[in-house]
Amino acid sequence: MANTAKVSCTATNMKIETAHNSDAPAILALQRLAYQSEAALYPGHQIPALSQSLEELLEEMGQMIFLKALIEGELVGSVRAKLEGPDWQIGRLIVSPKFQGQGIGTALLTTIEMAAPEQATHHVLFTGHLSHRNLELYERRGYQRFDQKTVTLGLDLVFLKKEVK
């Protein structure tokens, strides 16, 4: 994917490309690092992104489109998506903690939205109910809450969607 989204990103020389199986170990390592902040919000809860194995990630890569954000060859972010019925299900938006707050997450989100196939009518994603910064990021990008499900005591998942334009 050569068409990096035209969004303001202050990180210099950042590019977004399609990720492949060979990127799986680096994506998994980044996922485990990035999701530490989520784990801190939900103490005592098992966070699936932190327990995913390399084999499981490789299996997901066969079913989803994966994007990677690179700065001078270093993996600094990733996101994945797949079509489920009319929904373009977007998941695991991650940016390396040392590169957060520079627009990379927003650029990844915009680029994966642009990759939605024609049949998709909605972009759909979810996050935890205490993940206020994630919720703000998604709502600022036009997503609206449509469902909330309790996973266990102290952890709800908030589902958000927006129409594919």
DSSP output for 55-66 = HHHHHHHTTSEE
How many whole angstroms separate alpha carbon 50 and alpha carbon 60? 15
Nearest distance from C-beta of residue 126 to ligand COA, angstroms: 7
Interacting residues with ligand COA (CB under 6 A): 34-35, 37-38, 93-95, 100-106, 127, 131, 133-134, 136-137
Neighbours of 22 (CB within 10 A): 7
If the CB atoms of residues 119 and 144 are measured against ligand COA, the closer one turns out to be 144
If the CB atoms of residues 4 and 106 are measured against ligand COA, the closer one turns out to be 106
Nearest distance from C-beta of residue 135 to ligand COA, angstroms: 8
Q: Is the dihedral of CA 103, 105, 107, 110 positive or negative?
A: negative
If the CB atoms of residues 94 and 120 are measured against ligand COA, the closer one turns out to be 94
